[in-house]
Amino acid sequence: MRDGGRFAAPQLACNDMGQSAEWSAVQSVPALDSTDIHLWRWRLADDAVAYAVLQQHLSEDERDHAARFRFEPDRRRYIAAHGMLRCIVACYVAERPDQLRFRYQKYGRPALVGQRDRCLDFNVSHSGKLVLLAVARARNVGVDVEQIRADIDADKIAERFFSPDEVRMLRSLPGDERPQAFFRCWTRKEAYVKACGEGLAIALDSFGVTLAPGDPARFIRGVDPSWQLLGFAAACGYPAALAYNGGPAHVRFLAANLLLAR
């Protein structure tokens, strides 16, 4: 996965990955109150102009970081994810994207510095050709998306990171269902860990989530009841999950391409 994930994980069919998300294309950022969560999606495109604009949104440190990537696809994903984060978050706080200042917590989770809207919480994830950004107010959010891959040893990785119950459930499924179940489980766990902002300090086998086909995303054990979990298909072949606290929320699925094309 990415963003400091535990392993670097191409592409299968898109059935039964969670609820199918319908993304609404918007040209401006909608109002966000404490009962809302906005989930933004942007599809990466081979658009040199868009990447040039996004790169200009980055801080000097972020541009330096992007330049250090060895492979161009990795560099472009980084620029897209961080440029998108700045572009959209800036709309919520009425600031220029390149003027935003972030402080990074111990495990790399960014937060705004010096802004009036200090209750704003956000989290970004990118994989393959997709970038997701979750934004909320007065609650913690975490999002994770993964492009399903068939070239990994899911059983071996599950044995290392999943709980015994999750490993047993994964092994009980037919072979052709295991890759999707593995990534359902992985994204749900990563979304929670990212929302907590504690990174590797939270062992993935210390809490349990659902992973079976048709079973709604939820925590099974090891997590405070105030936390909620939503599993969904970000696109064909891209299972994703959102974790959040603070009680019930209205989640809106928003397509960012028109917003970024302004």
Check if the beta carbon of residue 36 is closer than 8 Å to that of residue 249.
Answer: yes
The answer to whether the beta carbons of residues 139 and 246 sit under 8 Å apart is yes
For the ranges 14-18, 60-64, 108-112, 242-246, the maximum mean pLDDT occurs at: 242-246
Give pLDDT tens digits for 172-192: 999 889 999 999 999 999 999
CATH topology of domain 23-145+250-260: Ribosomal Protein L22; Chain A (3.90.470)
**CA-based nearest residue to 10, from 147, 173, 127:** 147
49-94 pLDDT per residue, tens: 788 888 999 999 999 999 999 998 888 888 988 898 999 999 999 9
**DSSP summary character for residue 8:** -
Report CA torsion sign: 201, 205, 211, 216: negative
Does the pLDDT value for residue 260 go beyond 90? no
Location of each CATH 3.90.470.20 domain in the chain: 23-145+250-260, 154-244
- The CATH superfamily holding the domain 154-244 is 4'-phosphopantetheinyl transferase domain (3.90.470.20)
> Percentage of residues in the chain with pLDDT exceeding 90?
60
Please count the other Cβ atoms lying within 10 Å of the Cβ belonging to residue 75.
17
Phi-psi region of 3 (alpha: psi -120 to 50; beta: other; left: phi over 0): left
Structure tokens at 219: 């925590």
Residue 95, pLDDT > 60, answer yes
- Weakest mean pLDDT among 106-110, 136-140, 212-216: 106-110
Tell whether pTM > 0.85.
yes
- The Cα–Cα gap between 178 and 61 comes to 40
Residue 115: band (very low, low, confident or very high) from pLDDT cuts 50, 70, 90: low
Give the pLDDT confidence of 212-253 residue by residue, as tens digits.
999 999 999 999 999 999 999 999 999 999 999 998 999 999
For tokens 């766990």, name the residue: 189
* 110, containing H or E segment: strand 110-112
Percent of the chain with pLDDT over 70: 89
DSSP string, 9-68: ------SSSSEEP-PEE-SSPPP--TTEEEEEEEE----HHHHHHHHHHS-HHHHHHHHT
